[in-house]
A = this chain, B = another copy of it.
Amino acid sequence: MPSLPKTLTVAMADTVEQVETAIDILLPRSSMAEAKLYEAMRYGCLGGGKRLRPFLVMESARLFGVSPACALRVAAAVEFVHCYSLVHDDLPAMDDASLRRGRPTVHREFDEATAILAGDALLTAAFEVLTDAETHEDPRVRCALVSALAKASGPRGMVGGQMLDLIAETQSLDIGAITRLQRMKTGELIAFSATAGAILGRASPPQFHALQAYAHDLGLAFQIADDLLDVEGTEAETGKSVGRDKPAGKATFVSILGLDRARDQAGRLADQATRHLEIFEGRASMLQAVARFVVDRRS
């Protein structure tokens, strides 16, 4: 992983560890007859992933002096939603993926019905975690978090983007449609993550909007980098099936822009994301470093 500042690598590794512990506590094993459901939820959520969304929650919360314990609960909730979407996306009727984070996908390790229910349960659990008084003492803040997360992950956000993604398999989309698709499919949840700290910390509107603008550019840069990895990466590096887009004849940023222009565009978006955070006068340097990391990553 070239040219990453040591501090970002360490901070991200810290978050990975904290999120792992938080999820382990929030989704305990069960000794009841339905234990398999909890096992599948844990399998779909624990032991893998860069935890980019939790990292954005933790770092945005730190900007406003929010208690890390509260931020960590929101970080876990976002990860529940992200992981539920992966579990459902991997299903035979959707992407029919066999590998995720270097391991069998949930429906391969368990079975399809359990994977459907585990995804459903993770989504529900996310909202339950957010409404608990431990997440924030003020129910207005908890309600605002639920509202923002529901919008980001619902039909006008992530799920709508997943639907567009299915449609993209049979219809050719132009660059505008692909951009909208990706903004919905991955951008909205990334935007929720980067603004969650602002909600928790009751940030001013300009601060909130700076984080939102940052997140929108970051989200697109992330997705272009993902498309590049699908072409250039290996299964060993990414831990998931690669080269899936081309045989499917699916329009991606890379298929439309070509490799070089896609790479340039990702870099430009990362720079632009960074500049949105200048109003924090250096206190958001970690979030700025993430923008570079996202386009330089190999997995």
Contacts and interface: CB of A to CB of B under 8 A. Distances in A.
Interface of A: 33-34, 36-38, 41, 84, 88, 91, 93-94, 111-114, 116-117, 119-121, 123-125, 127-128, 130-132, 139-140, 142-144, 146-147, 150-151, 153-155, 159-160, 162-164, 166-167, 171, 173, 177
Contacts of A162: 117
B128 A113 contact: no
Contacts of A151: 128
B166 A124 contact: no
Contacts of A112: 93
Contacts of A142: 143
A154 B139 contact: no
Contacts of A143: 131, 139-140, 142-143, 146
B123 A177 contact: no
A114 to B, nearest CB: 7
Given A131-B143, A155-B34, A88 B114 contact: no
A93 B142 CA distance: 35
A41 B146 contact: no
Contact of A116 (B91, B128, B167): B91
A52 to B, nearest CB: 21
A124 B123 contact: yes
Contact of A121 (B34, B38, B159): B159
Nearest to A149: B127
Given A93-B111, A127-B150, 13 more contacts: A33-B177, A34-B164, A37-B155, A88-B120, A91-B116, A93-B112, A94-B113, A94-B116, A114-B166, A117-B163, A123-B124, A127-B146, A131-B150
24 contacts: A33-B173, A34-B164, A34-B167, A37-B155, A37-B163, A38-B155, A41-B155, A88-B116, A88-B120, A94-B116, A120-B159, A123-B123, A124-B150, A124-B154, A124-B159, A125-B150, A125-B155, A131-B144, A132-B147, A139-B139, A140-B143, A143-B143, A143-B146, A146-B146
Contacts of A119: 120
Top 3 A-B residue pairs of the complex, sorted by shortest distance between their CB atoms: A93-B112, A131-B147, A128-B150
Given A114-B166, A163-B114, A125 B139 contact: no
Question: Residue among A37, A113, A147, A153 with the most chain B CB within 10 A?
Answer: A113
